[in-house]
Amino acid sequence: MADWLTRTLLSAAGAVINGWSWLSGEASATVVNQIVGSTRNRPHPWSTLSDYTSWDSLTDRTFFARHLPAATAPRMPPVEQVQVMFRRPPGGQRTSSKSTCLFPAFAQYLTDGFIRTNPVDPRRTTTNHEIDLCTLYGRNRTQTLALRLLSQDDGRRGRLKSQMIADEEFPPFLYPNGDRIADPQFDALDPTLFSHAQTTPPQAPYPPATMTPEKLATIFAVGGDRVNSTPFSAMVNTLLMREHNRIARQLEIQNPGWDDERLFQTTRNIMIPIFIKIVVEDYINHITPMPFSLHADPAVAWTANWNRPNWIAAEFSLLYRWHSLMPDTIIWTDAQIALADFTTDNRPLLRTGLDAAFSAAARQPAGELGAQNTGDSLLPVEIFAVSQARLNRLDTYNHYRVQFGMPAARSFADITHNPDVANLLESLYETPDNVEFYPGLFAEDRVQDSPLPGLMMRMVAVDAFSQALTNPLLSEHVFNASTFTTWGLNLIGATHSVADLVARNVPRRGETPIVMTQPTWSYVNTP
């Protein structure tokens, strides 16, 4: 299954490998171009707006793009039957031998800012189509202003609002009185989503009556409507908020003439490439099945013919439903928390602090992504995804394999070596050509040495590279010291991982390494 990426990486690596740890810039560029070149570049000819191409479909970015045109699935078994594909059989959750829970924690935070299906109409999206850290800063200028500490209110300049709790910096609370009334200074923010699942119709913009005042009092006022969905997500956001305020403080010292606005904007300029560096060099490198790492070199995109305006595709609003990565029980420093209790409740984070939170995430193995590994509580989410794929009329699994440069599966054994899953697929779909996109993605064998199955890994890699490295802050005439300051440019260059941000911003660091890849992991395919 890993043949394609393995070959791609090895062909690049064969030429220039730096001590089997980081690929050189040139070799990284070759790999990135080969991966992205496995499918058609943008602009996509189709969107979810209409079944044919029109000026509206080419310009209305509130609809998702499509990698393949709308198609009616040849066979749509009742969703209750498809559900069996996902349901975990008795015997407990399979866990990943590669990923820690920092991997799903980061994946959720990244995708909640970037994919963003419109909860009222799943054909549409509320994304800005850029990695813009809207989870931290809000989706628009009004939201950003609500989150900023304006210097007329405070001597400090360029900062985000925050509060100190037991010597640690956290975002402000949204419900400071513990009642269901949000602080009016945050009225411009998107309402917090209190359910982990997509819901139709959307939640009312206030917390459900079942939320206890104790939980409610810990909800943060932040840019993203899902940042409070788990303490892991709130933990990533808190880290980024601290890094923002740390950078603003440094820039303020270095540039005493700058006003609040310039300090804030330049800090944000630095923060977004730092986040993108982590996306490529920590997160994507964790996903690839190779023991050496790719550099996030913005120059790769400067001459690439895949450098075209980003446009999130409908396929991506589905393929990132990685709920089986989350363990049934989260092992916190001071408690074991059932997954169902791990939502919209920041008490564990506030109680033990940021080091304990990251240590918990980085110590515990994640669940394994794939068929028959979803707990009962999350099965409705999988079913919702199957229905959403049908509503968006996504083409078959095999057609997407071909679109991303893989051969069509000719037998069910081409999809999975697990005979139970193969039999299940056959009972549902009769032939491989009938397999639907979403169940097919998850039915596949996991790629050896990767946390993902093959088609999903390709699609994630293609979109990550072709939409992260096209960020305007990384463009040829912007990625320089004028935009970031020399200090800021060096800081971007020196950042490679979540661990780097933790080291800068978390007091009283413990001994747990902050990693997405388990420290005991060893690659089977090491050349």
User: By rule CB under 8 A, what string of x and - marks binding of each residue 244-263 to a copy of itself?
Assistant: -----------------xx-
Tell me whether residue 229 or residue 269 sits nearer to a copy of itself (CB atom): 269
Instruction: Decide if 62 contacts 311 (C-beta within 8 A).
Output: no
CA 454 to chain centre: 18
- Report which residue type is found at 106: F
| 61 touches a copy of itself by CB under 8 A | no
Which residue stretch of 344-352, 387-395, 475-483, 501-509 sits at the interface with a copy of itself (rule: CB under 8 A)? 475-483
Tell me which of 265, 448, 486, 525 binds a copy of itself, using CB under 8 A.
265
Tell me which of 18, 34, 38, 53 binds a copy of itself, using CB under 8 A.
53
Tell me whether residue 60 or residue 183 sits nearer to a copy of itself (CB atom): 60
| 482 touches a copy of itself by CB under 8 A | yes
- 3-class secondary-structure state, position 97: strand
Residues 6+ apart with CB under 8 A from 41: 305, 306, 308, 466
| 156 touches a copy of itself by CB under 8 A | no
| Surface-to-core class of residue 81, CB atoms within 10 Å of its CB (0-12 exposed, 13-18 middle, 19+ buried) | exposed
| 309 touches a copy of itself by CB under 8 A | yes
User: For residue 23, what is the enclosing H or E element?
Assistant: strand 22-23
Which residue stretch of 23-31, 36-44, 90-98, 519-527 sits at the interface with a copy of itself (rule: CB under 8 A)? 36-44
Q: Which of 343, 355, 438 is nearest to 392 (CA)?
A: 438
Tell me whether residue 198 or residue 255 sits nearer to a copy of itself (CB atom): 255
Size of the site for a copy of itself (CB under 8 A): 41
| 132 touches a copy of itself by CB under 8 A | yes
Instruction: Decide if 294 contacts 23 (C-beta within 8 A).
Output: yes
| 427 touches a copy of itself by CB under 8 A | no
Residues 6+ apart with CB under 8 A from 55: none
Tell me whether residue 5 or residue 312 sits nearer to a copy of itself (CB atom): 312
| 152 touches a copy of itself by CB under 8 A | no
Q: Which of 436, 346, 354, 450 is nearest to 103 (CA)?
A: 450
Spatial separation of the C-alpha atoms in residues 104 and 321, rounded to whole Å: 10
Which residue stretch of 126-134, 226-234, 377-385, 457-465 sits at the interface with a copy of itself (rule: CB under 8 A)? 126-134
Quickly list DSSP for 279-305. Answer: IIIIIIHHHSSSSSB----GGGGGS-T
If phi over 0 gives left and psi between -120 and 50 gives alpha, with beta otherwise, what is residue 372?
left
Residue 267 Cβ vs a copy of itself, minimum distance, rounded to whole Å? 10
Q: Determine how β-strand 168-170 pairs with β-strand 336-338.
A: unpaired
Tell me whether residue 36 or residue 371 sits nearer to a copy of itself (CB atom): 36
Burial 99-124 (b: 16+ CB within 10 A, else e): bbbbbbbbbbbbbbbbbbbbbeebbb
Residue 27 Cβ vs a copy of itself, minimum distance, rounded to whole Å? 21
Tell me which of 38, 62, 118, 128 binds a copy of itself, using CB under 8 A.
128
Tell me whether residue 81 or residue 303 sits nearer to a copy of itself (CB atom): 303
Tell me whether residue 141 or residue 180 sits nearer to a copy of itself (CB atom): 141
| 45 touches a copy of itself by CB under 8 A | yes
| 277 touches a copy of itself by CB under 8 A | no
Tell me which of 228, 269, 288, 392 binds a copy of itself, using CB under 8 A.
269
Residue 47 Cβ vs a copy of itself, minimum distance, rounded to whole Å? 11
| 130 touches a copy of itself by CB under 8 A | yes
Tell me which of 81, 163, 303, 526 binds a copy of itself, using CB under 8 A.
303
Tell me whether residue 231 or residue 488 sits nearer to a copy of itself (CB atom): 488
Residues in the chain: 527
Tell me which of 268, 286, 321, 458 binds a copy of itself, using CB under 8 A.
268
Tell me whether residue 174 or residue 279 sits nearer to a copy of itself (CB atom): 279
Q: What are the C-alpha distances in Å from 133 to residues 51, 138, 322, 471?
A: 32, 8, 21, 12
Tell me which of 15, 16, 20, 52 binds a copy of itself, using CB under 8 A.
52
Tell me whether residue 53 or residue 185 sits nearer to a copy of itself (CB atom): 53
| 59 touches a copy of itself by CB under 8 A | yes
Q: Which of 409, 466, 467 is nearest to 437 (CA)?
A: 409
Quickly list DSSP for 424-458. Answer: HHHHHHSSGGG-BHHHHHHHSPBPTTSSSBHHHHH
Q: What are the C-alpha distances in Å from 132 to residues 63, 105, 317, 472?
A: 19, 18, 17, 10
Tell me whether residue 42 or residue 393 sits nearer to a copy of itself (CB atom): 42
The DSSP output letter for 100 is E
- The residues of the shown chain that bind a copy of itself, judged by CB under 8 A, are 40-45, 50, 52-56, 58-60, 128, 130, 132, 137, 141, 261-262, 265-266, 268-269, 272, 302-303, 305, 307-309, 472-473, 475-478, 482-483
